[in-house]
Amino acid sequence: MIKPNRLKHGDTVGIIAPASSPDDKYIQQAVIYLEGLGLKVKYGKHLDKKQGYLAGGDLERLEDLHSSFADKEIKGIICARGGYGTSRIAHQIDYDLIKRNPKIFLGYSDITYLHTAIRQKCNLITFHGPMVASDMGRKEWDVLSDYYFQQFFRSDDIIYDETISRLKAPISGIAEGPVVGGNLTLLIASLGTPYEIDLHGKLLFIEEVHEEPRMIDRMLNQLLSSGKLEHINGLIIGDFKGCEARDEVSSFSLQEVLHHYIHLINKPTLTGLKIGHCSPNITIPLGTNGEINTEKRFLRIECGTV
C-alpha cells in the first residue's frame, strides 16, 4: 500500500465537496481552525455549487477531485461533507492521476465509496475521519477529534483504548489485518460494482447513521449472504447514530440486531468506538495493518503517513 506524505506547518490542504453541498458558515469556522494549525487552505473551484442534493453536477465535482489531486501545492484533501453523490462519479475518476499524485484524502459517510474505490484501484491509504463543514466547523468539535486529526503531522500508530470510550468485546480474541470499511450503506452500495469491497483477511470497520434496526439487519444480512463476511479476520463496530426503531414495540433493538450478526460472524469483535457520525469522531487510516485485542480492549492501527 502507498502511504501519503504527512503534513507539516505551512502546507496547503484542499477542500472539496464530492457529494452533497456544505453550509458555508461551517466552512468558514473550519478554515479558522485549519489555519490555526499552520495550514493554508485552497477551495475547490466548484465548492459553492448546488444542484438538487448534490454539490454541483457530476462533472463539476469530478473536476474538483481531479484538480486537487493534480495540484502540486495541495498536500492533503479534506471533504467538506458527505450526503450523497460519490457513487455517481466513481466510474469517471482518473485513477492513474491519483496514483501519480498520492496524498492525504479524508472524509467519511458517503465518502466511504471513494475510500473503497481509491484504495482498491490505486493502492493508496486514505483516511476515515472528520470533515470540514460536518465536524471541524461545529461547536461539537472537541479535543479528541482535534488530537486524532493531528495524526497527519505525526508518525505515531493510532491507539484506540478505553481512555476514549467504553469498549465491549462480544467475541473475544486477537485479530490482525488491514483495516477497511466505513459507512455500512455505502459498503452495500459497492456490491456488484467494479468497486466491490474486498474483505478477505481484513478487519472490517462499520458505522451508520439514521437507519432503523430493520435496515441494519437487511444490510448485514446482504453482506453475510454474499459471502463477504466469511473471511474477515475481525470486526470493529463504530458509532450507529440515530439508529433506533421508530416503533420500538414491533422492532428488534439495534443491539439485538448487531448481537445476532456478530455471533453469526464469530470473529474477534470490538464495539463502542467513537468513529463515525459522532463527537468525538476519531480519524483512522484505511488500508494499513491493525490489531484487535479484546482482552486488553484496544484497537491499534499502523500510521497511515510517511
Residue 72's CB is within 10 A of a number of other CB atoms, namely: 8
pLDDT for the residue numbered 250: 87
| Statement to judge: residues 21 and 111 lie in one domain | yes
pLDDT for the residue numbered 247: 83
Q: Which residues are catalytic?
A: 109, 207, 277
Q: In 3-state terms, what secondary structure has residue 84?
A: coil
pLDDT tens for each residue of the chain, 306 residues long: 999 999 999 999 999 999 999 999 999 999 999 999 999 999 999 999 999 999 999 999 999 999 999 999 999 999 999 999 999 999 999 999 999 999 999 999 999 999 999 999 999 999 999 999 999 999 999 999 999 999 999 999 999 999 999 999 999 999 999 999 999 999 999 999 999 999 999 999 999 999 999 999 999 999 999 999 999 999 999 999 999 998 877 899 999 999 999 999 999 999 999 999 999 999 999 999 999 999 999 999 999 999
Using CA atoms, how far apart are residues 10 and 266, in angstroms rounded to an integer? 47
Using CA atoms, how far apart are residues 166 and 190, in angstroms rounded to an integer? 31
| Statement to judge: residues 242 and 206 lie in one domain | yes
| Statement to judge: residues 176 and 293 lie in one domain | yes
Within-domain flag for 279: yes
How far from 103 is each of 1, 14, 70, 208, CA to CA, in Å? 13, 11, 10, 26
Range of the domain at 249: 158-301
Within-domain flag for 7: no
Residue 78 has φ and ψ, to the nearest 5°, of -115, 125
| Statement to judge: residues 82 and 163 lie in one domain | no
Contact 113, 86 (CB under 8 A): yes
**Domain boundary residue, one of 111, 139, 167:** 139
Q: Which residues of 221-234 are buried (b: 16+ CB within 10 A; e: fewer)?
A: eebeeeebbeebbb
**Domain boundary residue, one of 96, 112, 139:** 139
- CA proximity to 280, closest of 151, 138, 87: 138
Order of strands, edge to edge, in the sheet holding 289-293?
158-160, 298-301, 289-293, 174-183, 203-209, 234-241, 269-271, 168-171
Within-domain flag for 193: yes
Q: DSSP characters for 161-195?
A: -TTTS--EEEE--EEEEEEEEEEHHHHHHHTTSTT
| Statement to judge: residues 236 and 296 lie in one domain | yes
Sign of the dihedral through C-alpha 39, 40, 43, 44? negative
Using CA atoms, how far apart are residues 25 and 97, in angstroms rounded to an integer? 32
| Statement to judge: residues 174 and 125 lie in one domain | no
| Statement to judge: residues 126 and 178 lie in one domain | no
- CA proximity to 87, closest of 242, 180, 3, 197: 197
- Torsion (CA) 18, 99, 145, 143 in degrees, nearest 10: -120
Within-domain flag for 147: no
12-16 and 74-79: which strand pairing? parallel
Residue 286's CB is within 10 A of a number of other CB atoms, namely: 28
Instruction: Give me the CATH number covering residue 134.
Output: 3.40.50.10740
Count, residues in the chain: 306
Contact 183, 160 (CB under 8 A): no
Number of structural domains in the chain: 2
| Statement to judge: residues 129 and 169 lie in one domain | no
pLDDT for the residue numbered 248: 75
pLDDT for the residue numbered 249: 77
**Domain boundary residue, one of 105, 139, 173:** 139
